[in-house]
């Protein structure tokens, strides 16, 4: 079993001891070094070359965010942030996730043993996920490199064959056949009679000569080596194909177009939802987990303010942090981004992030408006909020054009209900591909269920989504 080396960074000696004990409770991990400041962490990251780092967010001299940015410039070692629940700590944690931190956990409460154990379990789970992703990406790179080498080898062999084939033809030129010289002999009496007969035929009337020549042509077998008569080539006219009537040639496309128009007219056209907040007949639902804050920033930055649909987002995150996430994303996105509240009326051009600790459900009112409901029902797939719960709430609303998106994240939350909506005829389904995912878990689960219409790198999702919605 591989033992991964860990660098623990925290300004509190007591917290360094707690985190060290939590990590080393798992035999896969060993704390190789500790640091008490951001500057010390940068130097030890170079000296120790750890497999993974745990980083306190708030520290003197240099905080965890600045230390993270410096370390990210030197290496791609995964960093897990440990954050307090104060306003500044949560804000800097969100910024750290944007800057490249693999994930974060909140600091344990020292006075509660049960809380310490829960935080320890969450920390080891994220550390293991980080190591698995490093291995997966290394395996993928090796596989791509091997495939590239095979393709290059096949290309080299093909080029070598092309070079050698003409050379063989020139080395063995065809030998010209030379007939032996025949000795000159006198004509026999039989040959003389044939000569006289031919002379008489030449003196025959022109009509008889033509008739005889035509008979001979009919009887003579065609030689494959015979070249075409120049006179025949000049007088022979090309055979024109029988013209096909235009209506016959275009009958298939015409029938296809008629069928498409008939099918389109038979489908019910979704009617816009009326209300004081503006009409819409489209909705976008997004789910993500590990790596989600950075992915959401990339996606929401490219969605226009006049997007004719509301956007509902589930990001797996503890309570309070989702408010900081919404505030942060609102500074980047043309959309109006808020943390969702119970009873909020959905508006097009706005994005709503499910608050940590609550499931988010789309519902409707008697006057035709769509609203959000928050519940504290049991976690689904180990999560509250759950992507599956949000997706499931969209099932009854067939009048809406529903667009579903799954971004980077551990586990399979969201895939099961994406499949159900896909089978029910949802408008479009998107998933982030393996190339850009921090953790290729949730998207991969949806791909395996064969319910993803658009599997794209992160930067290509927004343009395609806008095209589908507009």
- Torsion sign over Cα 31, 36, 41, 44: negative
HEC sequence for 401-441: EEEEEECCECCCCCHHHHHHHHHCCCCEEEEECCCCCCCEC
d(CA 470, CA 457): 21
- Residue 124 burial by CB count (10 A; 0-12/13-18/19+): exposed, middle or buried? middle
d(CA 193, CA 252): 71
Alpha helix stretches (DSSP H) within 113-181: 113-171
Beta-strand ranges (E) seen in 322-399 are 336-339, 350-353, 359-364, 370-375
The H or E element spanning position 333 is: none
Dihedral (C-alpha) 412, 339, 84, 297: value to the nearest 10 degrees? 70
Q: Alpha carbon of 126 to those of 11, 162, 260, 439, 445: distances in Å?
A: 22, 54, 50, 11, 19
Catalytic residue among 36, 51, 83, 289: 289
Angle at 374 between CA 370 and CA 380, to 5 degrees: 115
Catalytic residue among 36, 56, 83, 316: 316
Whether 316 is catalytic? yes
Q: Other CB atoms closer than 10 Å to residue 126's CB: what's the count? A: 21
Torsion-angle region of residue 17: left (phi > 0), alpha (psi -120 to 50) or beta? Answer: alpha
d(CA 446, CA 439): 14
- Residue 287 burial by CB count (10 A; 0-12/13-18/19+): exposed, middle or buried? buried
Whether 259 is catalytic? no
Whether 363 is catalytic? no
Q: What residues act catalytically? A: 289, 316, 413
């Amino acid at each position: 079993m591989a033992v991964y080396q860990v660098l623990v960074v925290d300004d509190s000696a007591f917290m360094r001891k707690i985190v060290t004990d939590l990590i080393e409770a798992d035999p896969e991990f060993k704390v190789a070094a500790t640091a008490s400041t951001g500057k010390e962490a940068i130097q030890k990251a170079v000296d120790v070359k750890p497999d993974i780092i745990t980083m306190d967010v708030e520290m003197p001299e240099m905080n965890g965010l600045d230390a993270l940015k410096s370390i990210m410039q030197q290496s791609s070692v995964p960093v897990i942030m440990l954050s307090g629940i104060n306003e500044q700590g949560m804000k800097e944690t969100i910024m750290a996730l944007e800057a490249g931190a693999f994930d974060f956990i909140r600091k344990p409460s020292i006075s509660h043993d049960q809380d310490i154990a829960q935080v320890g379990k969450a920390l080891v789970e994220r550390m293991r996920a980080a190591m698995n992703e490093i291995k997966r990406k290394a395996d993928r790179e090796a596989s791509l490199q091997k495939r590239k080498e095979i393709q290059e080898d096949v290309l080299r062999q093909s080029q070598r064959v092309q070079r050698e084939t003409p050379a063989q033809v020139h080395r063995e030129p065809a030998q010209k056949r030379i007939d032996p010289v025949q000795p000159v002999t006198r004509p026999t009496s039989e040959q003389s009679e044939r000569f006289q007969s031919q002379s008489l035929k030449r003196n025959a009337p022109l009509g008889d000569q033509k008739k005889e020549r035509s008979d001979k042509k009919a009887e003579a077998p065609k030689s494959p080596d015979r070249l075409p008569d120049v006179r025949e080539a000049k007088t022979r006219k090309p055979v024109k194909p029988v013209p096909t009537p235009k209506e016959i040639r275009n009958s298939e496309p015409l029938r296809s177009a008629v069928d498409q128009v008939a099918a389109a007219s038979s489908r019910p056209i979704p009617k816009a939802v009326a209300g004081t907040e503006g009409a819409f007949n489209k909705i976008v639902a997004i789910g993500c987990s590990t790596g989600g804050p950075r992915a959401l920033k990339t996606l929401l930055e490219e969605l226009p303010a006049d997007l004719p649909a509301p956007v509902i987002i589930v990001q797996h995150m503890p309570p309070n942090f989702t408010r900081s996430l919404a505030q942060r994303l609102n500074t980047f996105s043309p959309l109006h981004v808020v943390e969702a509240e119970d009873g909020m009326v959905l508006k097009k051009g706005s994005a709503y992030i499910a608050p940590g600790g609550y499931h988010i459900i789309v519902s409707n009112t008697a006057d035709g408006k769509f609203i959000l409901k928050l519940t504290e029902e049991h976690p689904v797939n180990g999560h509250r909020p759950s992507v599956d719960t949000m997706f499931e709430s969209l099932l009854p609303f067939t009048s809406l054009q529903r667009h579903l998106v799954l971004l980077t994240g551990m586990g399979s939350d969201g895939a099961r209900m994406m499949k159900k909506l896909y089978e029910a005829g949802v408008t479009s389904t998107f998933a982030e591909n393996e190339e850009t995912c921090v953790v290729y878990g949730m998207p991969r689960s949806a791909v395996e269920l064969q319910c993803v219409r658009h599997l794209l790198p992160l930067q290509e999702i927004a343009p395609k989504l806008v095209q589908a919605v507009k």
